[in-house]
Structure 1
Amino acid sequence: MPKFTCPDGLAVAYRTSGQGTPLLLLSGQGNGMGWWDPIVADFESDHLVIRFDYLGTGGSDAPASGYSLGRFADDAAALLDHLGIESSAVYGTSMGGKVAQQLALRHPARVNSLVIGCSSTGGPNTLRMPKEISSRIADPASKEALLTDLMYSSAWTAERPGPYATLGEAKTPQARLGHRRASNGHDAWDQLGAIAVPTLVLHGSDDLMVPPANADLLAGRIPNAQVRIIPGGRHAYFEECREVASPIVLDFLAEVLAAPSNDSK
């Protein structure tokens, strides 16, 4: 697996596949590029798909500290530099949706369109999961079963016994804690008005981990953002409802690509 070296010497693993215009995929909390394995083929016919392992996951280095969404966004920009890509479409889900926001804010020239899935603005305006659910996630005895139920419907998992790529692969306790603190510390509410690229906000209607009302809150802060709610989708709507969700993303990106540039005469 190829890697590139960040300015501070840490190594980040990445992968490219497919062909066409660039599409950077950003994974959820505590997960690397394997988060996208079940559906990456949906995008490879139309896009050069770019994925990477956040620090602390997969083939990337796992430092004892230094985890932040800003760092993950900077690493994404450094990867585009490494690949010689000036700008890319970006699709981030869950924590990856927060990293996508940070990338668009910190490196606006690198993002030409944005898809944010099952995510939020962060901060005090976020609608959070019920406390009875979050307290059960903290219990190791019930965590995996509860996370699976939050990610997927029971009917879907009954036919697909797993393992599931979305349930986390942080390499060390420090990495797991670092990812959780980074995601929980996100608050872009006051900055999101600066995002000027076409933006699509996706969410599953049955998401209890990040309640779907967050989609409207998020889109309300980003100028001209569109919202699409996936009926029956839980937190991993992009996998369980891929037959609906992936075409929505592909159609949106195709429309952006076909739209006249603001610089056109």
Structure 2
Amino acid sequence: MHEHEPSTIETHETNQTQQSHATAADGTRIAYQVRGEGRSLVLLSGQANSHHWWDPVRADFDAAFRTVTLDYRGTGDSDRPDEPYSTEGFAEDVVAVLDRLGIARADVYGTSMGGRVAQWVAARHPERVGRLVLGCTSPGDRHGVERGAEVNAALTDRDERAARAALVDLMYTPAWTATHAGPFATLGDRTMPAYARRRHRMASARHDAWAVLPDITAPTLVLHGTDDRFNPTANAPLLAERIPDARLELVEGARHAYFEEFRATASPLVLDFLA
């Protein structure tokens, strides 16, 4: 469908992971990582996180797919311009990575803010998306269900340790943290400068894909934990009803990081859908 010339950017492999950079339309360098072989599957991480978000479960997908991750601008090994970011812009960065790799069509699995980015990829570039999985995400606060004020207050506590503990509690159940001390890959990229964190937060907060959700033509699975307060579970049926013929699956008892804590349930659900 699309043919692309090989990039002159050096590519190297580390622990069977091919790593390099794509160049976005505005010249920003976007780091990406490729593992495995077969049909391409793009894995999109949450807000203010690099590709390491997927470290705990990526092996589940490497066995069946050529998995592609990226570091959003502002994170990881990507450039960190101090300018407004948006979920629409992140989606175009994803397409730049696909172009760089010569991938005409890929399945896309986005979680949290990555699910918001995935909505734009699927709606604006339907020919590039085979199957779509939207995990623990929402259509945007304007038409979705906002998290409670108490959650926002806990996350913005001036006591950094208290805010981090609140985030862990929103991600995982007490039963999980009682036996898993961390470190956790889902709590944010600590190498990010403060301005980039703010830019990510605003990009996610301003997301509104409601108008284009009916344009999504890819077979879609909407996946969410039943006990998610970070991104309220009520957003899942809203997405499933708005996207034509979407399928909804709820993971009982799971919080925001359902894909990690409830890996034994979530990964097979996704793999079965993608198959």
TM-score, length-normalised on structure 2? 0.90
Matches within 5 A, 1:101-120: 101-120=119-138
Q: Matched residue of 1:150: which SS?
A: helix
Deviation at 1:175, TM superposition (A): 0.7
Identical positions, percent: 52
Structure 1 Cα separation of the partners of residues 220 and 151 of structure 2: 30
Q: 2:213 matched to 1:195?
A: no
Match of 1:161 in 2: 181
Contact kept, 8 Å, 1:123 with 1:189, in 2: the verdict is no
Match of 2:157 in 1: 139
Deviation at 1:14, TM superposition (A): 0.8
> Which residue identity does 1:56 align to in structure 2?
G
Q: Once the two structures are superposed, what CA deviation does each residue of 1:106-136 show, in whole Å capped at 9, x if it has no partner? A: 2111111100000011132211211112111
Deviation at 1:158, TM superposition (A): 1.4
> Which residue identity does 1:245 align to in structure 2?
A
Deviation at 1:21, TM superposition (A): 0.6
Match of 1:206 in 2: 227
Q: Once the two structures are superposed, what CA deviation does each residue of 1:138-193 show, in whole Å capped at 9, x if it has no partner? A: 11312100000000011111111111100001611111011110001011112111
Deviation at 1:105, TM superposition (A): 1.5
| Cα root mean square deviation, aligned | 1.0
The match for 1:82 among 100, 104, 107 is 100
Aligned residues between the structures: 254
Deviation at 1:90, TM superposition (A): 0.2
Deviation at 1:4, TM superposition (A): 2.1
Match of 1:226 in 2: 247
Match of 2:25 in 1: 7
Contact kept, 8 Å, 1:69 with 1:99, in 2: the verdict is yes
Structure 1 Cα separation of the partners of residues 133 and 171 of structure 2: 19
Structure 2 Cα separation of the partners of residues 4 and 217 of structure 1: 34
> Which residue identity does 2:237 align to in structure 1?
D
Deviation at 1:83, TM superposition (A): 0.4
Q: Matched residue of 2:210: which SS?
A: coil
Structure 2 Cα separation of the partners of residues 157 and 19 of structure 1: 34
Deviation at 1:8, TM superposition (A): 2.2
> Which residue identity does 2:87 align to in structure 1?
L
Q: Matched residue of 2:73: which SS?
A: coil
Match of 1:42 in 2: 60
What are the ranges of 5 or more consecutive residues in structure 2 without an aligned counterpart? Answer: 1-18
TM-score, length-normalised on structure 1? 0.94
> Which residue identity does 1:204 align to in structure 2?
G
What are the ranges of 5 or more consecutive residues in structure 1 without an aligned counterpart? Answer: 255-265
Structure 2 Cα separation of the partners of residues 227 and 140 of structure 1: 37
The match for 1:217 among 238, 245, 263 is 238
Structure 2 Cα separation of the partners of residues 128 and 237 of structure 1: 19
The match for 2:265 among 244, 254, 259 is 244
Q: Runs in 1 of length 4+ with deviation above 4 angstroms? A: none
Contact kept, 8 Å, 1:123 with 1:188, in 2: the verdict is no
The match for 2:91 among 55, 61, 73 is 73
